[in-house]
Amino acid sequence: MLNSPVDEGTKNVVYTVLYVYDGEIDDSLTDYYVLPKGSVINNAPLKDKEGFVYNSTTNVPLTVNDNKEVVKVIYDKDKDNESTSDASTEETSSDAASTDSGTTE
């Protein structure tokens, strides 16, 4: 993690972008950016993961004034993908049940 103080000579500041998947921060994807103090952030790069869908980005637009500024990119579980895999499991289970019942005498 980058914890350097603001260099008053250059007036640069560091802001953080956190990526949150179903309520859990993925520290391996956290990004740190250095910009001139007063810069405006309108968005953050998306980092899609399988099984999740983009929901929102918090704290934008953001005027970066100090090293404590944080933007969060929020993802939710992909409910459509979850439903499809659940349906496949149910079909496989019912197929197995009908096969078993067909072999019993």
**Quick one: tokens of 17?**
């972008």
Which domains does the chain show, CATH number per domain?
A: 12-99 (3.10.20.320)
Question: Bridge-partner residues for 18, per DSSP?
Answer: 72
- When the pLDDT of each residue in the chain is averaged and rounded to a whole number, the result is 80
Judged by average pLDDT, the poorest of 20-24, 32-36, 91-95 is 91-95
Determine the residue type at 74: I
SS3 31: strand
Q: Which two tokens stand for residue 69?
A: 């500024």
pTM above 0.75, yes or no: no
pLDDT attached to residue 81: 75
Asked whether the predicted pLDDT for residue 85 surpasses 70, the reply is no
Mapped onto helix, strand or coil, the DSSP state of residue 79 is: helix
The H-or-E segment that residue 32 falls in is: strand 31-36
